[in-house]
Structure 1
Amino acid sequence: MSGHTQESFPCGEAVVFTVRGEIDIANATQLCAALLHATDRSECQCLIVDLSKVQFIDLSGVRALYECCRVLTWEGRHMVLAEPSAAAQRVLTALRMDRDFEIYPIVEAALVHTARQRYEEGPITGVCGCD
């Protein structure tokens, strides 16, 4: 796990949100909105963003992740990144995002600190969410 200096929140319920395809200027705003919408339930204390299916991410996508994290932290919630694809990992490493995010090598490792979880798949590429 990266981001060892991060503040931790106790997590009762986590949402695993799988992002697919490309995250760029064309859909970064949608991504942020979809991530925040996935945490609408008051029981959701942790958002785990599964990046395993990301084929490309630019700075707009990075900005969307930071904005979502800022909003959730302000609400007393927690956001972590998990299982970054090779493309996502290159960007995370280049920008040293492990200083700002907890980054787990696999989704299951991110789920260890939660009591319950549900899965969502990001609408960025038209994949439906499910509980």
Structure 2
Amino acid sequence: MSGQSQESFPCGEAVVFAVRGEIDIANATQLCAALLHATDRPECHCLVVDLSRVEFMDVSGVRALIECCRVMTWEGRHMVLAEPSAAVERILSAPLGLDRVFEVYPIVEAALVHTAHQRYEEGPFTGVRGYE
């Protein structure tokens, strides 16, 4: 899976949201809400979800990412995934057709190439301890 195979367009501003810990049925809904809240500004056109520190993700985490992507697309914005950890890569590479849903970049910097401005936001989200 690669973001290079997807159509990209220039963005005014991107937010990088770093997720850490576990994403499962207990917190997937909160993850989607936190991702959407991080981009709740008119000038933010792109969300880059940094998954490098995710230790575990199940199918409910995938559903949350799909829902967030769907909402952002409906609003005329987009979401990309970056640096998936080994745990995330396992589920993204399963034969679910997720390569047609997500743009996935090997590193955050590659995901930011199409943006004019970027803002890094350490996500207040972790599946291990809940909101901080």
TM superposition score normalised by structure 1: 0.90
AA aligned to 2:114 is H
Local SS of the residue matching 1:40: coil
The answer to whether residue 96 in structure 2 is matched with residue 104 in structure 1 is: no
Structure 2 gap segments, 5+ residues each = none
Deviation at 1:2, TM superposition (A): 1.6
Structure 1 gap segments, 5+ residues each = none
Structure 2 partner of 1:114: 115
What are the superposed Cα offsets for residues 10-55 of structure 1, whole Å, 9 maximum, x if unpaired?
Answer: 2110000000000001100000000000001111000000000000
Deviation at 1:91, TM superposition (A): 0.5
Structure 1 partner of 2:16: 16
Q: What percentage of residue pairs aligned between the two structures are identical?
A: 81
Matches within 5 A, 1:69-88: 69-88=69-88
What are the superposed Cα offsets for residues 47-79 of structure 1, whole Å, 9 maximum, x if unpaired?
Answer: 000000000001110000000000000000011
Aligned partners of 1:127, 1:117: CA distance in 2, in Å? 24
May I ask how many residue pairs the two structures share in their alignment?
A: 128
Structural RMSD (CA): 1.7
Structure 2 partner of 1:66: 66
Aligned partners of 2:6, 2:75: CA distance in 1, in Å? 16
Aligned partners of 2:51, 2:5: CA distance in 1, in Å? 22
Higher relative helix content: 1
Local SS of the residue matching 2:116: strand
List 4+ stretches of structure 1 deviating above 6 A.
none
Deviation at 1:96, TM superposition (A): 3.8
Local SS of the residue matching 1:26: coil
Deviation at 1:116, TM superposition (A): 0.6
